[in-house]
Structure 1
Amino acid sequence: MARTKKKFSDLPPLAQTAVVVAGTIEIALFAAAQIDIYRRSPEQIRGRKGLWVGLCFVNTLGPLSYFSFGRKKLQD
């Protein structure tokens, strides 16, 4: 019982849209996290910058964890 892979074009239009939207969000989060890490000084980041750069490559979870836990709160 061999299963054939579905092509993107075989998916229903709603599923195609969902894949494109999810991919766009993931790429945007990744880019935003990388830019934020690059622009912040090491004192404003919890842990090593290199660690967060690497963790941001882990799907959507990496950038979300950086934005949730990796940045120190700015003090007024």
Structure 2
Amino acid sequence: MTSWNELTPAQRGVLLGAASVQLSLAVSAWADLACRPADEVNGSKGKWAAIIAINFIGPIAYFARGRKH
């Protein structure tokens, strides 16, 4: 495994960018889930809260499938 100090500045930038996108997606999805009434969520809110924690896939799945339109 490569340590942070062994990464080039470009690799560090890409890693920080991906991490910030992931965090932004997760925070947005959790905020939406917290404010949305349970009857407007497909399935249980607890299940979706756990799914959102799964990298990029979780928040995208919540926005695509977790909310009733």
Equivalenced residues, count: 69
Counterpart of 1:46 in structure 2 is: 42
2:60 aligned with 1:64? yes
Deviation at 1:27, TM superposition (A): 0.6
Greater Rg by CA = 1
CA distance in 1, matches of 2:15, 2:4: 9
CA distance in 1, matches of 2:51, 2:3: 30
Counterpart of 2:18 in structure 1 is: 22
Percent identical pairs in the alignment equals 28
What TM-score do the two structures reach when normalised by structure 2? 0.93
5+ residue gaps in structure 2? none
5+ residue gaps in structure 1? none
What SS does structure 1 have at the residue aligned with 2:42? coil
Per-residue CA deviation, residues 27-65 of structure 1 (Å, 9 max, x unaligned), is: 111100110000000111111111100111111111110
CA RMSD of aligned residues (A): 0.8
What TM-score do the two structures reach when normalised by structure 1? 0.85
2:9 aligned with 1:13? yes
